[in-house]
Amino acid sequence: MSNATHSSTLAPWAEQDGQSRGRRYPEAPPQLRTEYQRDRDRIVHSNAFRRLVYKTQVFVNHEGDLYRTRLTHSMEVAQIARSIASVLRLNESLTEAICLAHDLGHTPFGHAGQDALNECMRPYGGFEHNLQSLRVVDELEERYAEFPGLNLSYECREGILKHCSATNARLLGDVGERFLQRRQPGLEAQLANLADEIAYNNHDVDDGLRSGLITVEQLRDVDLVREQLDYVQDRYPGLHHRRLVHETVRRMINRLVVDVVESTTARLAAVQPADSEAVRSHSEPLVAMSEPVFAQHLQLKAFLRDNLYKHYRVRRMTLKARGVVQALFNAFFNDTQLMPDEHRAAALTLEARSGPDGRARAVADYVAGMTDRYAILEHERMFIPGERS
């Protein structure tokens, strides 16, 4: 882990320790850590972070113990991003904090849950998981005496809010501005975003193969995979399947990481941003893959979409997940007294403030916060006669 003395070695375009735009509620600086280390530590200690262990990435949590969950996904994102941040002399603690927090707002059941909740929320302002991650760290965590949420630094909040509609951006103040002014976030946020894509593409290949839903032979159609697979098979003929897969995937990750470092170094050398503000006003992101490698990355992404995420067994899981989320949302929205006391109280407060939109938001907060297994249990308690309530 980086430490407070690391800042002397940061590149000029990195987010500098001690120069944060600050927190929503002013606080005394930490004694032994940088502001961004404090952000990271608050995230690790949050309730929402612990829940990630029981939330789906692609495979529903109970399908098998070896599949990625949101927690291990977030850790892999952080690991990849930290490696790159360290080489590029970016702020490693800030990068790590953004990565660990980026999926805190995810619903149970991965994208299926997210799509279902978004449909339910369409008449009431919609549901965006990036925005929900920000809502978790700004409002929903209840841990500190003097402020709601985790009161993270501006730079960390900026990184968590990867995408946002213009309508929501207008309501958000400082972190919403860049979506209206078409500005970039800092390099650490750009890096976290790209590391997320690298992590899930590669671990979904691994999980997809483990599940048997996709095969090594199918993956030969994907350039990024085939290049590494050929190399490993030539060099280690007869290698056991499990080792073959890992050797291939680790080389794919390395290929992408090296490319991001080289391509980003070249861009930074060409643009020479004076500081992180110059990064933000640049016309496009500076952390990026080279064009040919990015094309390969997109090819793999398309392969996974067509062959894994649309596989009939994943679609069946998706159907069940959708049913659970919709049923819970509708029941709670129609009768908030079915929710546990604290969530019913939140619904009353938000409804008094903004009518049905507010009530729906409180229900969405409750449902989005559920782990896969809690959602399944709540669904049983609500709808299966004879189950404990």
Binding site for Mg ion (CB under 5 A): 103, 196
Amino acid at the residue 6: H
Chain centroid to CA 217: how far? 30
Contact 128, 14 (CB under 8 A): no
- Which residues on neighbouring strands pair with residue 23, listed in sequence order? 153
Token couple for 231: 């190399």
Token couple for 65: 């113990």
Helix axes 291-304, 223-235, angle to 10 degrees: 90
In the bound state with Mg ion, the residue whose beta carbon lies nearer, of 20 and 74, is 74
Say how many C-beta atoms besides its own lie within 10 A of residue 311's C-beta: 17
In the bound state with Mg ion, the residue whose beta carbon lies nearer, of 42 and 102, is 102
CB closest to Mg ion, residue no: 196
Cβ neighbors of 230 (< 8 A, separation 6 or more) are: none
In the bound state with Mg ion, the residue whose beta carbon lies nearer, of 103 and 138, is 103
Say how many C-beta atoms besides its own lie within 10 A of residue 270's C-beta: 8
Smallest distance, Å, CB 99 to Mg ion?
A: 9
Per the document, the length of the chain is: 389
Smallest distance, Å, CB 126 to Mg ion?
A: 19
- Which residues on neighbouring strands pair with residue 69, listed in sequence order? 56
In the bound state with Mg ion, the residue whose beta carbon lies nearer, of 103 and 128, is 103
Contact 127, 117 (CB under 8 A): yes
In the bound state with Mg ion, the residue whose beta carbon lies nearer, of 103 and 155, is 103
In the bound state with Mg ion, the residue whose beta carbon lies nearer, of 98 and 187, is 98
Cβ neighbors of 57 (< 8 A, separation 6 or more) are: 67, 68, 69, 70, 72, 73, 110, 200, 203, 204, 207
In the bound state with Mg ion, the residue whose beta carbon lies nearer, of 196 and 259, is 196
Longest Cα–Cα distance of the chain, Å, equals: 68
